[in-house]
Amino acid sequence: MGWLLLCFGASLCASSAGRQYVAHTHHLHPLVLPHAANVVANLAGGLWHPTFGFLVFLMLLFPGGRLLSSRWKPVALTTAGVYGALALAGVFSHEHAATLFPYSRPLFHGSPLRLANAVFDLLLAAQLLLLLIGGIALAVRLARSKG
């Protein structure tokens, strides 16, 4: 459980540091972000999603560090896959980075950008479902507890 909490904090710190770097660079160059800051803006736009993945894993594994039963293993594997893909799609999809940094530019154009945006939207829906399933796992664990 400690490793999950450590990864949760590290993911949040990395995303926050990226956002601060981009904000500082935008303050120095208000009209257009330099290329490196634009890449960091797109990374920061996508790297905060694994934070929610660690939160889902915390709900699935709390308090003993094990799943409720072996039937929950597909949920854990799906969580890892969805949040890994969400982090990757979040970097290539510019929609989320544009909400955080309206002055940033997409890394790709054309078909790759449209595909990344579509995958990103689909994975966001899966994220909400996984957060709900994690809450259900926590409620089931609480209902089964004794004492």
More confident residue, 74 or 50: 74
CB 43 within 8 A of CB 91: yes
CB 11 within 8 A of CB 47: yes
Lowest model confidence (mean pLDDT) among 10-19, 35-44, 58-67: 35-44
The set of long-range contacts for 115-118, using a CB threshold of 8 Å and a minimum separation of 24, is 116/89, 116/92, 117/93
CA 115 to CA 108: how far, in whole Å? 11
Residue 1: per-residue pLDDT: 83
Q: What is the pLDDT of residues 112-124, one digit of tens each?
A: 778 888 888 898 8
Residue 18: per-residue pLDDT: 84
Average pLDDT over residues 49-62: 89
pTM, rounded to two decimals: 0.79
Residue 81: per-residue pLDDT: 93
Q: How many CB atoms lie within 10 A of CB 55?
A: 17
Residue 24 has pLDDT above 90, yes or no: no
